[in-house]
Amino acid sequence: MTVTATSVDQSDQLQPRRTSGARGGRLLRLVPAAASALCGVLLYVSFPPRPLWWLALPAFAGFGWVLRGRSWKAALGLGYLFGLGFLLPLLVWTSVEVGPLPWLALVAIEAMFVALVGVGVAAVSRLPAWPVWAAAVWTAGEAARARVPFQGFPWGKVAFGQADGVFLPLAAVGGTPVLGFAVVLCGFGLYEAGRLIAERRRNRVVRRAAATAALLSVAVPVVGAVAARALVSDSAEDGTATVALIQGNVPRAGLEFNAQRRAVLDYHARETHKLAADVRAGKVAKPDYVLWPENSSDIDPFEYADAAAVIEEAAKDIGVPISVGSVVERDGKLLNEQILWDPVKGATQTYDKRQIQPFGEYLPLRPLVGAINKNWTEMARQDFGRGTEPGVFDIDGAKVGLATCYEAAFDWAVRDTVTHGAEMISVPSNNATFDRSEMTYQQLAMSRIRAVEHSRTVTVPVTSGVSAVILPDGRITQKTGMFVPAYLVQKVPLRTSTTPATELGILPEIALVLVAAGGIGWAIGSGLRARRAGDA
């Protein structure tokens, strides 16, 4: 009896230990999931307005750790969690006026691209020099996300978080694909180097080829960025131009300002008259031309004489052409248009926005969206049409390229202004809808990347801020606050030379996509061969 009692007691004592061990095992299995989501958050924190660009490196080092050697199912889930951790906070500004549902839907869709990238990274993580293949897979994922669905949404490209970073000069080498590839490669390379060091400390043999590949994954992007500084210059090649940016502000933040379109127009005209008075008083230099933001006149000046009169008076007062952002209707189409308004000749040149924003300027799947929420279809009663020609205004010999707001996120929409002769670039924008969110800072960082990518001055006139002047080396020399009326005047260099990024265009991206495809193909082939050998 004593023996039996003792055995029962021991059994009772062992049972909680097994339960505790099972719980500990389950908790350990949650570590990669939590780490993946936290790495995504870390990548978000590396983006503007925070100058913490370097956090992208540990973010991808951690992402490489959680994915290396995983099955495709595990990698899919871990990649999705990384995408959610990154995109949920990055894109929260999309919910400012329309509520959380569109924001969550957008993030859910965009995170699927990151999930598929996770599968690809896990697959190539077994290959020699895997950080190279894995970084190419990430770039391929960004390329897909920039094109589908609804003509793509490239917001959140890794390159757009590097405006303050050491890798920035690589934008001049191969644009956002090469810049983003270098950052991701360096992050994965840091993890691989750390893993091999840990292997060595455990007295395991580390192959020299693997160690060399890890070292090069970190060193090559850094050395390449240092070497690429030779491509970055802010010197004038075709003289200079004195340019003025007008930020008129809006009556109040939010979508409602569209109901007060005349007030917005009057605000921008008033700030231009103030500039003209300061020029006459000798307080500032007279500009060669003035840039108003997108939607600075939502009243069609070709249709309404009072709007045309307000613009004409402002142009005559300052005595130079004004680029006005307006909404016009022509041939039955609603167009987001930039109009060059001469003080003597009136409207002389126009540019119609080509990359229009889905669910903002046009409504895909209108019947389905209306069934979900009729208010959304009422806010976008008529879809905008698309322009067909690149925007380059010739203003007294100075050629100014135009990429309106959302277009700054798309590589092609900025590049073809330069290939069509632009000596500087303007990105007229309207961020009033998004209140004081981080959206305006994220978009400003894009313009800084574009300045270096194409070696051009970039101006960013915005209705409610932040407006800025960016030199070809990516430096912001002047900027305004948010929701304040202001003007900026500066002499800027005009440049005609082209960078390798401008010349190569889409070719670096195609090359990296092919590298990614080759790596995934190699990984699949190796897996099939290993399976056949196991069956044999």
Catalytic positions, please?
Answer: 294, 353, 405
Separation in Å, CA 295 to CA 78, 264, 463: 41, 8, 8
Angstrom distance (rounded) from CA 172 to CA 182: 13
User: Shortest CA distance to 462 belongs to which of 337, 292, 311?
Assistant: 292
CB 338 within 8 A of CB 351: yes
- 303 burial (CB, 10 Å; 0-12 / 13-18 / 19+) is exposed
Hey, what long-range contacts does 194-199 have (CB within 8 A, 24 or more apart)?
A: 194/61, 195/65, 195/68
CB neighbours of residue 381 within 10 Å? 8
CB 68 within 8 A of CB 125: yes
- The tally of CA atoms less than 13 A away on the side-chain side of residue 124 is 25
CB 358 within 8 A of CB 94: no
**CA 201 to chain CA centroid, nearest Å:** 41
CB 399 within 8 A of CB 393: yes
Separation in Å, CA 216 to CA 68, 125, 131, 226, 299: 19, 16, 10, 15, 57
- The tally of CA atoms less than 13 A away on the side-chain side of residue 500 is 17
* Amino acid (1-letter code) at residue 101: L
Angstrom distance (rounded) from CA 213 to CA 215: 5
User: Shortest CA distance to 143 belongs to which of 508, 522, 478?
Assistant: 508
CB 501 within 8 A of CB 175: yes
Q: What is the DSSP string of 214-240?
A: HHHHHHHHHHHHHHHGGG-----SS-E
